[in-house]
Amino acid sequence: MENQGKTSFTLLAISKLYNTRVNLVGIDENHRWIRPMPVYQSDIFAQEEKIFEVFGVTELVLNDWWGTAPRPEDRFFVRNPQVLPRLVKVLDETERVKLLRSLVDDSVDSIFSRGRTLGLIKAVVKDLNFRRNPYNPLEYEARMVFEDILGNLNYNWMVTDFMWHKSFQDFIRENPGKLSSRLKELRQLLNTRESYFVIGLTRIFLEYPGPYGGCWPQVLGIINL
């Protein structure tokens, strides 16, 4: 058991899964990427005292993941009433910039070709889209077309950033008919400000296998400084 015990977890992305499940993505105290599971929206948004926050450092207990086909970064989030998770601090602006610049990878391939399923890139955004999911009209689908800094390929991936989805749904409700202009503004903003993208791979889909060993790539978090 290599990955047991109390961990200082710095959260970098909250990603949508299904129903009330979410993915928490970040790093441990040794800057190793980890993905505590399972986690629910209530763990983040329904607590009297905040436990998780993007750029927050949370002390929690993790164990090795025992599920099928584990990814290298998967960890089991231990729910022990005697050792409750605790938000220790939130990084300030200087600490955030320093951390992101230390973690950023050269390209998509430099992450996934080395056996990892999580990483951080900078990119040039070519297009953004947010629409009703054609397979489930009750939900929305977000996509991003981008190049990494090598600029060799265009990638067209789903965006599962929880707060990204929420901000667009709030905007649509409050500003009907203005989504197109908002998407254009955000694309320009992401390309002019210092922006980072937390990317990752799903689990293996046997019925509809993805291009990375059966896994599908996604943009899990969008960070704009």
Residue scoring higher pLDDT (35 or 204): 35
Kindly list the distances between the CA atom of residue 218 and the CA atoms of 43, 83, 160, 210, 212, in Å, as whole numbers in the listed order.
23, 33, 7, 11, 11
Q: How high is the pLDDT of residue 3?
A: 57
Give residue 1's pLDDT band: very low, low, confident or very high (50, 70, 90). very low
Least confident segment among 20-34, 56-70, 185-199: 56-70
Domain count, the chain: 2
CB atoms within 10 A of CB 46: 9
Q: Identify the three-state secondary structure at position 30.
A: coil
Question: Are residue 117 and residue 210 in the same domain, yes or no?
Answer: yes
- Tokens for 40, please give them: 């629910």
Question: Are residue 58 and residue 132 in the same domain, yes or no?
Answer: no
- For residue 170, what are the domain limits? 104-224
pLDDT tens-digit map of 208-221: 889 999 999 999 99
Does the pLDDT value for residue 24 go beyond 50? yes
CB-based contacts of 56: which residues, under 8 Å, 6+ apart?
A: 10, 11, 50, 87, 88, 89, 90, 91
Does the pLDDT value for residue 4 go beyond 80? no
> Residue holding tokens 């955030």?
96
pLDDT tens-digit map of 130-171: 998 888 888 899 999 999 988 878 999 999 999 999 999 999
Q: Label the pairing between strands 39-40 and 21-27.
A: antiparallel
- Tokens for 110, please give them: 């430099």
Is residue 122 a contact partner of residue 106, using CB atoms and an 8 Å limit? no
Question: Are residue 70 and residue 11 in the same domain, yes or no?
Answer: yes
Residues 77-101, mean pLDDT to the nearest whole number: 93
Question: Are residue 80 and residue 138 in the same domain, yes or no?
Answer: no
Q: How high is the pLDDT of residue 180?
A: 95
CATH number at 74 reads: 2.40.50.140
Name the pTM for this structure. 0.93
Does the pLDDT value for residue 26 go beyond 60? yes
Question: Are residue 81 and residue 173 in the same domain, yes or no?
Answer: no
Nearest to 2 by CA among 69, 76, 54: 76
Q: Identify the three-state secondary structure at position 155.
A: strand
Is residue 160 a contact partner of residue 168, using CB atoms and an 8 Å limit? no
pLDDT tens-digit map of 195-205: 999 999 999 88
Question: Are residue 9 and residue 77 in the same domain, yes or no?
Answer: yes
CB-based contacts of 13: which residues, under 8 Å, 6+ apart?
A: 23, 24, 25, 26, 54, 161, 198, 220, 221, 223
Q: Is residue 47 part of a domain?
A: yes
Residues 3-31, mean pLDDT to the nearest whole number: 91
